[in-house]
Chains A and B, each alone.
Chain A
């Protein structure tokens, strides 16, 4: 596709869309699809056809709009709807409701199924990463193009030098969304400057002497931000990787997805095929002379394979275990070549930044944390689901406004962020701004975006034990502190839970937390003690109340 063809496709698609009086969006994300949403779309379509209205109403299968708990979701939007009015949203839709919904279009909404779209859940979010999720058909490249897709790529390839693309990303202030928050522009600059090895060990493509990897392993229990993005807007990830490849001088990219995400894999593969057919991947992209291709690689669902050196070993065909860094992948990664590795959400932010400019992006968020963050909000809140909020929003707004507070009769105790590598934040910090530094200061981390709300009935020792069990089982077993240390800490936590521990056991636990954190080889072991340390910091009395006096415990 040349730039002219891209423009023509966009205009044609937008004009075709404008012909419809109404748009019906049926969510076919994993959660809704599992509840039969494809049948809903089919039924609405046939109802409309039977009524002879299919020329005026467009039914579209879309990615997850975020409120999976209310799914399957169907949204009906009138063409002439004012921009600040929410569209009509139907919840818990069943295939047999299609008739009622189809009949209501253009008239009074089917109130029986209607969801309340005026609540803060809908109004308080800022969507960048998820702007297309729930709006476009993830299996049609034309839909993505109509939503300004590939404009950033065109701009970069024809108007910008690779260095300018890197500068733009640096200026935007974007930081990695995979957990550690490393400045993305700096990482790109390092890869761009690293030299490929003189003798190539690269098996499949001798010309690709640098690589781009998109990390879609998403191993945190309960997290599904990246899955939704890959399922709902796969082309955005392809465009982000293309821009990354152009900027750092790579010729080949891999998306590493866990095999437990079959729908994401299917959509990515279909998107890659369509992009290849459209000339957006492969040789001489858009006639610019730039060559880049992407392959999907599947992980077997090990948490540690999300760690970058482990992920690289896994793509190379080895056992997914980490290795000491340095050398960092930016210098020596896949098959010894300089490799850029970014998280799915990081990649999804790239195209909008190039298209709309660094200044626009840097205008959102706080001084050191720019843009938005997607969270998977779960636990004891009324609205569970996927949310995208500007950095710097307070925890209180997330939990009580967007999340709608806790269910009747429950009171707030803590919110857990960062999954097994993170910590629990108690009520006194509810007004804290959500950004990388603040979260770290209170002993948690931003992490990849899991957020679990806990109520007053939550047993914090049990929470710590749960996460330790996860780390123990997911430890790769390579280094001693993590392999044996997590097992010992888990044993001690179980002992405390069961009322068989003394103060000496608690001291041993505290000492092990420090040792495992400081001496483990990779991030898994280094952060495994975090849930214990943070619950000890804020809820120590819960631990102490479970202890018994020396000599009174069973061995």
Chain B
């Protein structure tokens, strides 16, 4: 496999040809906010947090799904990108009911982290205040639609790593939401193995472990990448 050299924010970086701009940026220590990306899962380019500018290309490209190329000049931190990122996070906060103070994920929520990272100090949009339910039918886990940002990490982890495909998306536009099985209560799902991977994968407090306090619901996401790597490369030791 051949290597490519490119520049990120002016800094020369080398990367394997099958790597994405995001991989290359991380290797080079460039911090980029992401939400729908999770190491070990197929990228879908949905949250648009990782958009970058590439010289000579008119469109903004998602770093998580764009492969590196020789001589590519990438910018991750322009005025324009910073502005769009902040607007994206504000749109997410306005979309559902993110009342952080009452959330199990408070202080270890990726949405919160990203909000801080992009310097969001207020939301300029009208809150949509949709009416959403909480599903507490599962014996071990709970699901609160109010905190969901539709990143589909639960959908992908359950399908790609656990192989159960319990989660999927129902509906379109702002009415879209994730469901278990054929829109049944999670507790009645026949496909769920109660493995807990979706709990680990969820970036917010949307999917959580029942009975755990805020302090306990810290998520360990490295296990997913470990599993993926172990299966792909047949390396089962850490």
**CB–CB B173/A474 < 8 A:** yes
Question: Contacts A483-B150, A518-B60 hold; do A478 and B44 have CB atoms under 8 A apart?
Answer: yes
B91 lies within 8 A of chain A by Cβ: yes
Contact of B174 among A324, A483, A519, A521 (CB under 8 A): A483
What residue in chain A is nearest B80 (Cβ atoms)? A518
* Set of chain A residues within 8 Å of B87, measured between Cβ atoms: 481, 511-512, 515
Binds A, one of B11-19, B120-128, B203-211, B228-236: B120-128
Question: Contacts A472-B174, A484-B95 hold; do A323 and B44 have CB atoms under 8 A apart?
Answer: yes
Which label, helix, strand, loop or mixed, suits the secondary structure of the A interface? helix
**B84, B125, B168 pick with most chain A CB within 10 angstroms:** B125
Contact of B88 among A323, A473, A476, A519 (CB under 8 A): A519
B176 lies within 8 A of chain A by Cβ: yes
Which label, helix, strand, loop or mixed, suits the secondary structure of the B interface? loop
**CB–CB A477/B88 < 8 A:** no
| Residues of B within 8 A of A (CB-CB), count | 33
What residue in chain B is nearest A486 (Cβ atoms)? B173
Interface residues of B in 141-183 (CB under 8 A from A): 149-150, 152, 168-169, 171-176
* Set of chain B residues within 8 Å of A473, measured between Cβ atoms: 172-173
B92 lies within 8 A of chain A by Cβ: yes
B197 lies within 8 A of chain A by Cβ: no
**CB–CB B173/A480 < 8 A:** no
Question: Contacts A485-B91, A488-B94 hold; do A479 and B173 have CB atoms under 8 A apart?
Answer: no
* Set of chain A residues within 8 Å of B60, measured between Cβ atoms: 518-519
* Set of chain B residues within 8 Å of A518, measured between Cβ atoms: 60, 84
Looking at the assembled complex, report how far the CB atom of B176 sits from the nearest CB atom of chain A, in whole angstroms.
3
Question: Contacts A323-B44, A323-B45, A324-B65 hold; do A519 and B172 have CB atoms under 8 A apart?
Answer: no
A179 lies within 8 A of chain B by Cβ: no
What residue in chain B is nearest A482 (Cβ atoms)? B173
Interface residues of A in 76-135 (CB under 8 A from B): none
Binary interface profile of A, 208-240, with partner B (CB < 8 Å = 1, else 0)?
000000000000000000000000000000000
* Set of chain B residues within 8 Å of A323, measured between Cβ atoms: 44-45
A520 lies within 8 A of chain B by Cβ: yes
Q: Can you show 21 pairs from A to B with CB atoms below 8 A apart? A: A319-B169, A323-B45, A324-B65, A473-B172, A477-B169, A477-B172, A477-B175, A479-B47, A479-B48, A480-B47, A481-B87, A481-B91, A483-B176, A485-B91, A487-B174, A488-B91, A488-B126, A512-B87, A518-B84, A519-B48, A519-B60
Task: Please give me the 6 A-B residue pairs with the lowest Cβ-Cβ distance, nearest first.
Answer: A477-B176, A484-B91, A324-B45, A475-B173, A487-B174, A324-B65
